[in-house]
Structure 1
Amino acid sequence: MTFPSQIQSITKYNVTTFRRHSVSEIAGSLGDLGTFLPIALALAANGTVSLASTLIFSGLFNILTGLFFGIPLPVQPMKAIAAVAIARSFSPGSIAAAGLFVAVILFVGSVTGLLQWFTRVIPIPVVKGIQVGAGLSLVMAACTTLHSLGWIHPSWADNRLWAIGVFIALLLTNSTAKRLPYALVVFVIGLVLAIIRSALASSLPSFLFWNPYTVVPVGSEWSIGAINAGLGQLPLTTLNSVVAVVHLAADLLPSVPTPSVTSIGLSVSAMNLIGVWFGAMPVCHGSGGLAGQYRFGARSGASVIFLGLVKLVVGLVFGESLVGLLHRFPKALLAVMVIAAGMELVRVGESLNTSGARDLARHAEDVGDSSRFHADEEERTRRWMVMMVTVGLLVGFKNDAVGFVAGMLCHWAYELPALIQRTRRRWSEGRVRLP
């Protein structure tokens, strides 16, 4: 299929899906706000990024990814970079340098085929482990936020009582009220509460049109950004924002063409090679955001196109005046939405030993035996253990790279006896000789 015909097909799918399920698509577009808003606001409050530029450029990237990929692919913060930038009060130049460093490395990996090779050699249990670990990490982060809230504090509009209420509503949408656009309802409630609190504090947003400026890292900002934040972000972006998101898209949306690893890598590179020069937050595509948007109803690129248009208009018209309003958006509501996204991501681990695991499906096709969709007891145990080692170390160390290495070592340990046996057989057949 040629590129123009592919874009035409994706556009037709987006339009058709939005016409039939407009409320679900709009609700689903809000599924990643629980991650996006707190980090963007924290960085903007520190003066590290421009909130207006972040909204405008992430909105543009939302629109473009929806048009090119046709799936609810999120545009979310690079979390490792954001964490270091917040903790160390990075300058705008330092965080821009971190984003540019990751973008260049990812671009090289995409155009040389290294990303594709890397994705091919990672066992499915390790990929599932990264996805499940990322989901549990989201749940734990949300629970930390909820733990900091009191029963009636810090505000009448943001406390544990609100969290319990929206959590019960979430459970009901899983059973008796599945058609309710949960994320849309919760977001509207949160926005109304934030507006009321801002009005009481006399700090409502005003028209403050975007005043663009450029950020160019200088001197030590390059090394501070690249070494202190960029290096830690690389494994997270590669594993969770490229490899895991491609596998998750195939699992959740099998009827839609799955983006290639190369195209996702180039997309992340392009977003940061453009946006950070204007003070925007470094961004990527994450499996957690995709799971969240899918959980709340998004099934096409139309959902993120809608979100992108809203971000673009709001960023252009209100700019930095939105900081106060968004700071008053109830954390209790955002945290529960993050929990829902995390559990949706955890759920993909269920298909590890079923036909949902693509490596088993491929093996069944290769041997012409559909029964091979299901691994035997010993193989299922091995696969489960590899996944859980990946999950345990990822969550325990709060580091995707540690979880990945641990999972690969566990996988290789299980493969070692078979490797030794094959080597012995080849030795006995004279196919292995000493130099």
Structure 2
Amino acid sequence: GKYVPKPVVRGVQLSTGTLLMAEGVRFIIGTSRFQVLKNAAEPYLSLQAFGPIPIGIIIGFVGGLVTLLFLNNRKFPAGLLLIIGGTLIGVLLGKTGILKQVSLSVGFPKVLPFGFPTSADFSYALLILVLPQIPMTIGNAVIANVDLSREYFGEHSKKVTYGASCISMSLANFLSFLLGGMPLCHGAGGLAAHYRFGARTPGSNIIIGSFFVALAILFGKHALGIVYLIPMSVLGILLLFAGSQLGLTILDVEDRKDLFVVLMILGITLATNLAAGFIAGILVAYMLRYEKLSV
């Protein structure tokens, strides 16, 4: 951006990618918070291990191999193969109660299902959720996302601007609020994942969006039963490769000072959070423009 140096953008992208990769590995080996809470590496599979080897590691290894083999295949996209294969594993090895949860329940979302928020709700959300999230949203969902869009799509991404990204997120969150949904934002990680797994046109967003809308309308709360069919380790592979693609954006960083900023943001992010890394990165990047400072 105009006021955010390029190494800061790359640092945010590397940090986000590293966080995604780390979470992906946890999904594969079964140590994510959700898996620990459920006390199972694959909470929705009836089979947890082949001998001494956890089932998640086996699925992760096979899934990783499939991804490497088909990552550049246009006829059989790796991401689609992973989802289909994971779903089949869920059908064959899933716990008996999972499929019973899947049943048609046609319905449409209600407007303000939890009622209109009180002033206390707004105050709590502003202080606890909104303000702490602003630096990360600006860094990853706006600046890094726009930068990656331009890198991937060149002139075709001219409509993807900082302003457009902010407005689209605002509208999406307002609609989500009306329907009782969760907060959401853009993200360089999601863009990297979609692109690397084969998405090249707006049609990919229409396809995946239509799929999720259909799930919600046709199955309602029972749609989770379908999601549960996909093993955690398959999701881990998707996160691992998505994060790696985002991290690889630093390949164009050659200057020593710039690389220092990138790595410093990564270190601070791992020790604290991405928002702190983003803010510190901007400060250090501007400081290092002073010629007498060296690294």
Give the 3-state SS of the residue equivalent to 2:132 in structure 1: helix
Against the structure 1 CA distance between its residues 196 and 263, is the aligned structure 2 distance closer, same or farther, given a 3 Å change threshold?
same
Structure 1 segment 88-127 matched on structure 2, within 5 A: 119-127=1-9
Give the 3-state SS of the residue equivalent to 2:288 in structure 1: helix
- Deviation per CA, 1:83-110: give whole Å up to 9, x if none: xxxxxxxxxxxxxxxxxxxxxxxxxxxx
CA RMSD, Structure 1 to Structure 2 (Å):
2.5
In structure 2, the residue matched to 1:193 is: 89
1:301 CA displacement: 0.8
Residue from 57, 72, 80 that aligns with 1:184: 80
1:217 CA displacement: 1.2
- Structure 1 CA distance for aligned equivalents of residues 82 and 57 of structure 2: 15
TM-score, reference length from structure 2: 0.84
Tell me, yes or no, if structure 1 residue 173 matches structure 2 residue 74. Answer: no
Name the stretch that deviates more: 191-200 or 308-317.
Answer: 191-200
- Structure 1 CA distance for aligned equivalents of residues 226 and 76 of structure 2: 26
- Deviation per CA, 1:286-325: give whole Å up to 9, x if none: 0000000001011111111111111122211111111233
In structure 1, the residue matched to 2:15 is: 133
Tell me, yes or no, if structure 1 residue 315 matches structure 2 residue 211. Answer: no
- Deviation per CA, 1:232-283: give whole Å up to 9, x if none: 2211111100111000001111241331110111000111112112111211
1:144 CA displacement: 1.9
- Structure 2 CA distance for aligned equivalents of residues 321 and 180 of structure 1: 29
Do the aligned residues in 1 keep the contact of 2:71 with 2:78 (CA within 8 Å)? no
Give the 3-state SS of the residue equivalent to 2:2 in structure 1: helix
Tell me, yes or no, if structure 1 residue 240 matches structure 2 residue 140. Answer: yes
Residue from 156, 164, 167 that aligns with 1:263: 164
- Structure 2 CA distance for aligned equivalents of residues 204 and 151 of structure 1: 20
- Structure 2 CA distance for aligned equivalents of residues 242 and 227 of structure 1: 21
In structure 2, the residue matched to 1:109 is: none
1:186 CA displacement: 0.9
Counterpart code for 1:293 = H
5+ residue gaps, structure 2, are: 32-38, 49-54
In structure 1, the residue matched to 2:253 is: 352
1:124 CA displacement: 0.4
Tell me, yes or no, if structure 1 residue 409 matches structure 2 residue 283. Answer: yes
Give the 3-state SS of the residue equivalent to 1:210 in structure 2: coil
Residue from 260, 264, 268 that aligns with 1:385: 260
Larger relative contact order (CA 8 Å, sep ≥ 6): 2
Against the structure 1 CA distance between its residues 310 and 262, is the aligned structure 2 distance closer, same or farther, given a 3 Å change threshold?
same
In structure 1, the residue matched to 2:154 is: 254
- Structure 2 CA distance for aligned equivalents of residues 266 and 418 of structure 1: 41
In structure 2, the residue matched to 1:356 is: none
Percent same amino acid at aligned positions?
25
Give the 3-state SS of the residue equivalent to 1:212 in structure 2: coil
In structure 1, the residue matched to 2:35 is: none
Residue from 61, 67, 87 that aligns with 1:164: 61
Report which of the two structures shows the higher radius of gyration computed on alpha carbons: 1
In structure 2, the residue matched to 1:203 is: 100
1:224 CA displacement: 2.1
Q: How many residues align?
A: 273
Q: Which has the higher helix share?
A: 1
Give the 3-state SS of the residue equivalent to 1:254 in structure 2: helix
